[in-house]
């Protein structure tokens, strides 16, 4: 796969200031990659000077424009449709890749069953971010993130082996374009943001397609410049996050876990959260339930179209000690 061309896709909404800082690093990484590498910025109807800045300062970048704001998922889909190459890399506008981050990601696509690969994501202080390696467990009817350390990563990973990952973060991931399109990309159910990448990774695993984490590839995601926080209140963000977690559980947990664990624990948490004057959980649940018909239809479609393996079984199979060889 060393000779495979790559398309880097960057969704943007009013990110003029941020892109001015990150695009030079993206261009440097593209130049360092020895094969063709195009960069596509999808402008989602920005109201700032993003378009003019890209056109004037970065003429080598392909620009795709939305006349009406459509959200993160549709911006990604437009970029994928405009891309020329079989491996696509999705980057948030506030992600700054290191110069040699592409090659370690691409090498894993020699495997026919590789769907996506995640780099090591660092914060602005150089500390690893947990979204690099998404380890989760099902506890009391919901997903809980498992913490990991770089010592554990160094123990498991080496040049001939990769580390299995439940999903690659949509803010920095490489994947096969054909597989992305076969899955239908990110589901509109999750608009405007959050959990669409988790859902995509689970749907890929249900088809037998794998996601890996390669710490030799590194990017910096400066959450101090987080794009979502500039346009949504903290409360609205929490509501969307909780709502979309309900969606992912309702779509992918086994029926038995839903009935005997998730639903009882949800009914227990609801009055407890209200007692603590936390209305976010209740509002998120209400918003999720208002989309229950669509969720049930999607759940049925997934069971017919994909492997019936549940989320619990997928998580069980992602034992970190089972690291596949190249």
- What tens digit of pLDDT does each residue of 43-81 get? 999 999 999 999 999 999 999 999 999 989 999 999 999
Beta bridge partner(s), residue 12: 43
171 vs 219: CA distance, rounded Å? 10
- What tens digit of pLDDT does each residue of 162-218 get? 799 999 999 999 999 999 999 999 999 999 889 999 999 999 999 999 999 999 999
77 vs 247: CA distance, rounded Å? 21
Looking at 3.40.30.10, 3.90.550.10, 1.50.10.10, 3.30.390.30, the CATH number of the domain 6-227 comes to 3.90.550.10
150 vs 143: CA distance, rounded Å? 22
**Cα-atom radius of gyration of the chain, to the nearest Å?**
20
| CB 311 within 8 Å of CB 138 | yes
- What tens digit of pLDDT does each residue of 80-133 get? 999 999 999 999 999 999 999 999 999 999 999 999 999 999 998 999 999 999
Q: What is the model's pLDDT at position 306?
A: 64
41 vs 258: CA distance, rounded Å? 40
Distances (CA, A) of 250 to 167, 230, 237, 260, 316: 17, 30, 20, 13, 18
| CB 303 within 8 Å of CB 259 | no
Q: What is the model's pLDDT at position 222?
A: 79
Residue 127, Cα to own-chain centre: how many angstroms? 19
SS3 119: strand
SS3 120: strand
The yes-or-no verdict on residue 1 having pLDDT over 60 is no
Every domain of the chain and the residues it spans: 6-227, 234-317
């Amino acid at each position: 796969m060393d000779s495979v061309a790559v398309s880097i896709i960057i969704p943007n909404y009013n990110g003029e200031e941020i892109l001015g800082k990150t695009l030079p690093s993206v261009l440097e990484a593209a130049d360092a990659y020895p094969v063709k590498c195009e960069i596509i910025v999808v402008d989602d109807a920005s109201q700032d000077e993003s378009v003019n800045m890209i056109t004037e300062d970065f003429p080598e970048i392909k620009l795709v424009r939305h006349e009406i704001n459509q959200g993160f998922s549709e911006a990604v889909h437009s970029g994928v449709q405009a891309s020329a190459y079989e491996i696509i890399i999705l980057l948030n506008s506030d992600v700054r890749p290191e110069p040699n981050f592409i090659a370690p990601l691409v090498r894993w696509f020699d495997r026919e069953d590789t769907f996506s690969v995640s780099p090591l994501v660092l914060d602005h202080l150089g500390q690893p971010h947990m979204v690099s390696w998404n380890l989760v467990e099902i506890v009391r009817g919901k997903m809980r993130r498992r913490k990991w350390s770089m010592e554990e990563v160094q123990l498991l990973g080496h040049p001939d082996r990769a580390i299995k990952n439940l999903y690659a973060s949509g803010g920095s991931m490489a994947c096969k374009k054909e597989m992305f399109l076969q899955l239908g990309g990110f589901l509109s159910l999750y608009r405007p943001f959050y959990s669409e990448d988790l859902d995509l990774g689970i749907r890929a695993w249900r088809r037998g397609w794998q996601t890996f984490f390669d710490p030799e590839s590194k990017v910096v995601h400066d959450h101090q410049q987080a794009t979502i926080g500039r346009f949504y209140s903290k409360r609205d963000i929490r509501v969307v996050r909780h709502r979309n977690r309900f969606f992912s559980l309702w779509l992918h947990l086994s029926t038995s876990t839903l009935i005997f664990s998730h639903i009882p624990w949800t009914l227990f948490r609801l009055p407890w959260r209200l007692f603590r004057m936390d209305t976010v959980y209740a509002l998120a649940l209400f918003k999720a339930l208002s989309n229950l018909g669509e969720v049930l239809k999607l759940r049925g479609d997934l069971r017919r179209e994909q492997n019936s393996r549940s989320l619990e079984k997928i998580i069980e199979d992602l034992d970190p000690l089972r690291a596949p060889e190249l």
